[in-house]
């Protein structure tokens, strides 16, 4: 199979027969080798981008099909903040492009530039917009959750929790009261930590572990949303708000919890419309993504993974201690995350012919 780049095809074929860069002697040959290396880098980046972007886009597209179907069933009597998510994604992309252009200008003045940088930026922009699209549809699905299936699972989950642990699990965590403020604040770092991890991943060179991490992320979010429709619940902090009784009335409400509960309940009563609105508990997306972050760090920075395992433990325990989730929410989230992480590589999209061509070129 020939080079997919068109111009310079014969040059690249000839250079592929050269056994090592040391055999490239003339300036013309060195220039041609540089062009081919850059071309290989660009094509390799594109192929690895499609490896995760195609399944991720398919997952997001399926979520929109499901959301539209549910919307037609329940009627579109709600508001969703699509514009906010798209504006946020566009802002990140534009600011990143400005930073890259500045970097490339400085680099061009000092050491020259390479075309692969913009290929990586295109992958970055595509990833950011896919995250924005998924956040928008997940918010949409959350808004429709109480309209379509109702929060019928809270009472059974609370009962099952107390049956398994012989007491409501949050009562077992009273020993953590001295650290209540720390846990409350640490829980609020979840969103910044998630977005930081995603942005760093989008900026990293394309390779198999990056593809696995990103496909797993989109798959985890989709599976968690499916679980929330199968076992719709609001969580202990909303138990009394839903008129289910005073089972959790004596649970201490921490400052950030009180602020967020007020915001979410207002969004619930007004049928959505705010960024981050929508109530759902089983399974826990916070726990699932916290575990996903730990797996990503283990893949890239194994020596520092203990930090993220500790962070995961804080989110897992904090989800119950603060009243956001039943213990079973976190347990199910862990199982979903591990399954999605294992399944992600099987969903990679591959252009086998070009993959083979790049492998052959790399050996030349």
Convert the pLDDT of each residue in 172-190 to its tens digit.
998 999 999 999 999 999 9
Tell me if 265 sits within 8 A of 238, measured CB to CB. Answer: yes
Q: Say how far apart CA 231 and CA 150 lie, in whole Å.
A: 10
Residues near 357 by beta carbon (within 8 Å), at least 6 away in sequence: 1, 3, 4
- What pLDDT score was predicted for residue 86? 64
Enumerate the β-bridge partners of residue 79: 272
Beta bridge partners of 272: 79
pLDDT of residue 103: 61
Distance of CA 137 to the CA centre of its chain: 14
Tokens of 308: 């993220």
**Gap between the Cα atoms of 312 and 293, Å rounded:** 8
> pLDDT-based confidence at 159, cuts 50/70/90?
very high
Q: Which residues does 86 contact at the CB level (< 8 Å), separation at least 6?
A: 132, 136
Structure tokens that stand for 314 in this block? 């804080």
pLDDT of residue 28: 53
Which pLDDT score is estimated for 337?
Answer: 97
* pLDDT over 90, % of the chain: 40
- Is residue 137 within 8 A of residue 218, CB to CB? The reply is no
- Model pLDDT, residue 13: 44
Torsion angle of the four alpha carbons 125, 128, 130, 133, in this order, in degrees rounded to the nearest 10: -120
Contacts 24+ apart (CB under 8 A), 19-25: 19/364
Nearest to 149 by CA among 240, 288, 279, 270: 279
3-class state of residue 77 by DSSP: coil
Residue 316 pLDDT grade (very low, low, confident, very high; cuts 50, 70, 90): very high
Condensed to tens digits (0 to 9), the pLDDT of residues 19-53 reads 444 454 555 544 445 545 454 455 555 667 788 88
Q: Among 267-271, 277-281, 325-329, name the most confident range.
A: 325-329
Judged against a pLDDT cut of 50, whether residue 79 lies above it is answered with yes
Whole-number Å distance between alpha carbons of 196 and 203? 11
pLDDT at position 255, please? 85
pLDDT in tens, 346-360: 888 764 434 443 344
Q: Is the pLDDT of residue 93 over 90?
A: no
CA torsion sign for 157, 159, 165, 169 is positive
> What pLDDT does residue 238 have?
92
Whose structure tokens read 């929109």? 64
Mean pLDDT of all residues belonging to the chain = 79
Show the tokens assigned to 329. 């929410």
Query: What is the average per-residue pLDDT within 206-231?
Result: 93
Instruction: State how far the Cα of 260 lies from the Cα of 238, in Å rounded to an integer.
Output: 11
Q: pTM of the predicted model, to two decimals?
A: 0.80
Residue 100 has pLDDT above 50, yes or no: yes
């Amino acid at each position: 199979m020939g080079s997919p780049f068109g111009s310079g095809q014969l040059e690249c074929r000839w250079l592929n027969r050269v056994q090592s860069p040391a055999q490239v002697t003339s300036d013309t040959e060195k220039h041609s080798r540089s062009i081919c290396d850059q071309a290989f880098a660009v094509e390799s980046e594109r192929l690895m981008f499609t490896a995760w972007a195609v399944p991720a886009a398919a997952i997001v597209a399926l979520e929109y099909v499901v959301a539209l179907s549910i919307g037609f069933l329940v009627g579109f009597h709600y508001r969703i903040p699509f514009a906010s998510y798209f504006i946020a994604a566009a802002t990140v992309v534009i600011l990143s492009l400005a930073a890259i252009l500045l970097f490339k200008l400085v680099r061009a003045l000092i050491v020259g530039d390479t075309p692969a940088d913009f290929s990586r930026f295109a992958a970055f922009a595509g990833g950011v917009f896919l995250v924005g699209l998924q956040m928008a549809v997940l918010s949409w699905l959350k808004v429709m959750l109480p309209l379509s299936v109702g929060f019928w699972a809270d009472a059974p989950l609370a009962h099952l929790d107390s049956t398994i642990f012989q007491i409501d699990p949050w009562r077992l965590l009273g020993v953590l009261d001295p650290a209540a403020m720390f846990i409350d604040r640490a829980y609020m770092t979840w969103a910044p930590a998630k977005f930081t991890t995603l942005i760093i991943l989008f900026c990293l060179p394309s390779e198999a572990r990056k593809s696995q991490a990103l496909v797993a992320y989109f798959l985890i979010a989709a599976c968690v949303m499916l679980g929330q429709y199968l076992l719709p619940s609001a969580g202990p902090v909303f138990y009394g708000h839903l008129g289910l009784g005073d089972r959790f009335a004596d649970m201490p409400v921490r400052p950030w919890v009180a602020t967020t509960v007020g915001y979410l309940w207002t969004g619930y009563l007004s049928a959505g419309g705010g960024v981050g609105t929508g109530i759902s508990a089983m399974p826990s997306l916070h726990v699932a993504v916290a575990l996903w972050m730990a797996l990503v760090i283990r893949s890239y920075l194994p020596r520092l993974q203990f930090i993220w395992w500790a962070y995961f433990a804080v989110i897992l325990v904090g989800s119950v201690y603060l009243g956001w989730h039943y213990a079973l929410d976190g347990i199910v989230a862990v199982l979903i995350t591990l399954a999605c992480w294992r399944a992600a590589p099987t969903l990679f999209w591959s252009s086998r012919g070009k993959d083979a061509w790049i492998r052959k070129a790399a050996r030349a």
